[in-house]
Amino acid sequence: MTEIPKSHPRYASLMTRERIADGVRNGITSVQGLIAQGRGEAFDYILGERTMRSADRATLAASAALLLAERPAISVNGNVAALVPAEMVELASLLNAPLEVNLFHRSEDRVRKIADLLRSHGAGMVLGESPDCRIPGLEHSRALATRGGIYDADVVLIPLEDGDRCEALVRMGKTVIAVDLNPLSRTSMMASISIVDNITRAVPNLIGKIRSLSGSTREDLHAVLSDYSNRSTLRDAILEMREYLTARMNELDSADCSAVKQI
């Protein structure tokens, strides 16, 4: 990994890119994952590289849903494994939930490497190396699933997921929690709860909220969920992005006025 000084103004973003690049070099992340990372980073710029109020609200609802779940499960792909492996293991441990490796560009070697990476961070249950069923309505490798994991889960966390698998899981009657920087994506639109945030912020935030809610009664957790609307949250996310862009535009206008006065 390239040495990047912490004083660099783009340190966090550059380190994320390096983790993805290392993931490709180590056989964890697909080459296509580089494109997905670049697309997500563009949206992160538009929301100001921060956790928005709407994302924080969605994360709270997601925490309540995961704590209420009887059979939670967590999906892991190559980008997730490259960016937040330790955090995903911590989250799975908090929820006593399995991690299941699921890849669009699947190879048994990549699945094994991701599973080994998660185990190296202390994961207790990692599924996906021997899928034994298929998600209805999908024809590619994303259909592969495992009994006792995603296939039987009532609540599924699917960070950085494609839209058709999200839609298929919703059709199965599952509560689906997505992490996606694009509020207009099919994944965000189809999910039960959409966290519009960078996964490097979203997962630690999710862990923190689960810890803070862990002593809550089921009634209190249900109350959190009853107050949540995913459509409203996505709308608010778009409005917050617009507010951020408007503020940056106003800064440019002010700078132009100052330049004219100096002339």
Give the mean model confidence (pLDDT) for residues 51-59. Answer: 97
pLDDT at 259 over 60: no
Give the pLDDT band (50/70/90) at residue 35.
confident
Cα separation, 194 vs 58, whole angstroms: 6
pLDDT at 242 over 80: yes
Distance of CA 105 to the CA centre of its chain: 18
Structure tokens at 181: 């920087």
pLDDT at 38 over 80: no
- What pairing do the DSSP bridges indicate for beta strands 126-127 and 99-101? parallel
Q: What is the DSSP annotation of 172-183?
A: TT-EEEEE-S-T
Distance of CA 174 to the CA centre of its chain: 17
Phi then psi for 77, rounded to 5 degrees? -115, -170
Work out the percent of the chain whose per-residue pLDDT is above 90: 71
Give residues with Cβ within 8 angstroms of 183, minimum separation 6. Answer: 194, 196, 234, 237, 238, 241
Mean pLDDT, the chain, integer: 90
Q: What is the pLDDT of residue 32?
A: 78
pLDDT at 190 over 90: yes
Is 191 in contact with 177 (CB distance < 8 Å)? yes
Q: What is the pLDDT of residue 9?
A: 62
Q: What is the pLDDT of residue 85?
A: 96
Q: What is the pLDDT of residue 8?
A: 61
Where do we find the tokens 């699917």? Answer: 158
Q: What is the pLDDT of residue 255?
A: 67
Give the mean model confidence (pLDDT) for residues 249-260. Answer: 73
Structure tokens at 121: 């961070």
Is 240 in contact with 197 (CB distance < 8 Å)? no
Better-scored residue on pLDDT, 148 or 10: 148
At 23, the amino acid letter reads G
pLDDT at 131 over 80: yes
- What pairing do the DSSP bridges indicate for beta strands 133-134 and 144-145? antiparallel
Kindly state which CATH superfamily the domain 53-236 is placed in.
Phosphopantoate/pantothenate synthetase (3.40.50.12640)
Among residues 63, 23, 33, the alpha carbon closest in space to that of 177 is found at 63
Where do we find the tokens 């697909």? Answer: 30
Where do we find the tokens 């908090």? Answer: 94
Q: Which of 53-62, 98-107, 160-169 has the highest mean pLDDT?
A: 53-62
Q: What is the pLDDT of residue 182?
A: 95
Better-scored residue on pLDDT, 24 or 94: 94
Q: What is the pLDDT of residue 149?
A: 96
Other Cβ atoms less than 10 A from the Cβ of 260: the count is: 8
Q: What is the pLDDT of residue 225?
A: 96
> Helix 11-25 and helix 31-46: axis angle, to 10°?
170
Q: What is the pLDDT of residue 188?
A: 96
Give residues with Cβ within 8 angstroms of 8, minimum separation 6. Answer: 14
Structure tokens at 105: 């560009």
Give the mean model confidence (pLDDT) for residues 163-191. Answer: 95
pLDDT at 6 over 90: no
pLDDT at 246 over 60: yes
